[in-house]
Amino acid sequence: MLSGAVDPAELVALAERVARSAGALLLQRPTDLGVSTKSSPTDVVTVMDRASERLLVDGLLEARPDDGILGEEGGERSGASGVRWLLDPIDGTVNYLYGLREWTVSVAAEADGEVVAGVVHAPALGDTYAATLGGGARWNGDPTGVGSAPELAQTLLATGFGYDSAQRARQAAVIAAVLPRVRDIRRIGAASLDLCLLAAGRVDAYVEQGLQPWDLAAGGLIASEAGARVEGLRGAPAGEALVIATRPELFDALHSLLVGAGVDTLTTGGTS
Ligand code: IPD
């Protein structure tokens, strides 16, 4: 049972504090990243993902010892407070591996299963995004909102692909059918950052299938608090099956485009 004393403003401040510490650690990128693989040969983890997660978990539990944790790199712990933290210690690990700057530390707090606070910190870009449920979204401390809605044909659409080869082929087929109908696509390589770019009006929409809770939680809250509609297919909540995020005025047109492009094949595993 969640204590009425949980204050999203306190949670977001703590999230930002630990995310900044992890970001500072990650900027000290060692030459040997100690790379190993996870779900597929292209799904990598480095010693820095693990060190970042350890630092996040230690910082959060020091401040709030009764909270639960779910971290991408295995940190899982049930808590008694009703608050659970969803952690992606490096979102965009492949970018980090290659020395690209588009990676983040993503920290979100759920209270009784609902995301109430989120921070996406991109230290190599100098950008930090944060939101509390009902409290709006901020980009480097200032209020931020999604940009004005373009026509579908003028939409800059961010997207991403999973690590399983067969699923990637299906995802690529859907995007191939979408591409001629929009301005262009961007594959930036960090889902949390894609959602924050939408929140900052730097892309018009974002679509991806296969996200895990730690990829989606903080960025999803930031995008919706910035005015985006963030949902799955046919009114389902956004989640692993699909995330469609864009300005509300553009949502239905994008949803129809995706259905016409065969987005249902992503969840059924079909070919058409
Ligand atoms: C990945 C990135 C990528 C997205 C993948 C995610 P990771 O997270 O967010 O952009 O396309 O679906 O798994 O593995 O770098 O934490």
Please give the share of the chain, as a percent, with pLDDT higher than 90: 84
If one counts every other C-beta atom within 10 angstroms of the C-beta of residue 55, the result is: 20
CA 1 / ligand 1 centre spacing (Å):
32
pLDDT tens digits, residue range 104-154?
999 999 999 999 999 999 999 999 999 999 999 999 999 999 988 889 999
Please give the distance of CA 52 from its chain centroid, rounded to a whole number: 17
Dig out the tokens for 23 from the structure. 């970001």
pLDDT tens digits, residue range 30-75?
888 888 887 778 877 889 999 999 999 999 999 999 999 999 988 7
CA 211 / ligand 1 centre spacing (Å):
7
**d(Cα 157, Cα 236) in Å, to the nearest integer?**
21
Give the residue among 208, 216, 212 at the shortest CA–CA distance from 242.
Answer: 208
What sign for the dihedral angle of Cα 206, 160, 214, 53? negative
What pLDDT was estimated at residue 244? Answer: 98
Angle at CA of residue 129, ends 125 and 105, nearest 5°: 65
Cβ proximity of 158 and 183 under 8 Å: no
CA 92 / ligand 1 centre spacing (Å):
5
User: One-letter amino acid identity for 188?
Assistant: I
Any atom of ligand 1 within 6 Å of the Cβ of 215: yes
Averaged pLDDT, 4-25: 94
Q: What is the number of the ligand 1 atom nearest to the C-alpha of 91? A: 16
Averaged pLDDT, 146-173: 93
Averaged pLDDT, 88-100: 95
Q: Residue 230: beta bridge partners?
A: 245
DSSP for 196-215, written as a single string: HHHHTTSSSEEEESS--HHH
Say how many residues make up the chain: 272
Q: What is the number of the ligand 1 atom nearest to the C-alpha of 188? A: 10
CA 5 / ligand 1 centre spacing (Å):
34
Any atom of ligand 1 within 6 Å of the Cβ of 106: no
What pLDDT was estimated at residue 1? Answer: 40
**Residue 5: pLDDT above 80?**
no
Any atom of ligand 1 within 6 Å of the Cβ of 120: no
Any atom of ligand 1 within 6 Å of the Cβ of 160: yes
Any atom of ligand 1 within 6 Å of the Cβ of 191: yes
- Residue 83 makes CB contacts below 8 A (sequence gap 6+) with 2, 6, 11, 64, 67, 68, 109, 110, 111
What pLDDT was estimated at residue 32? Answer: 84
- Residue 86 makes CB contacts below 8 A (sequence gap 6+) with 70, 71, 106, 107, 108, 109, 110, 115, 213, 214, 217, 218
Any atom of ligand 1 within 6 Å of the Cβ of 92: yes
- Residue 265 makes CB contacts below 8 A (sequence gap 6+) with 170, 173, 174, 271, 272
- Residue 235 makes CB contacts below 8 A (sequence gap 6+) with none
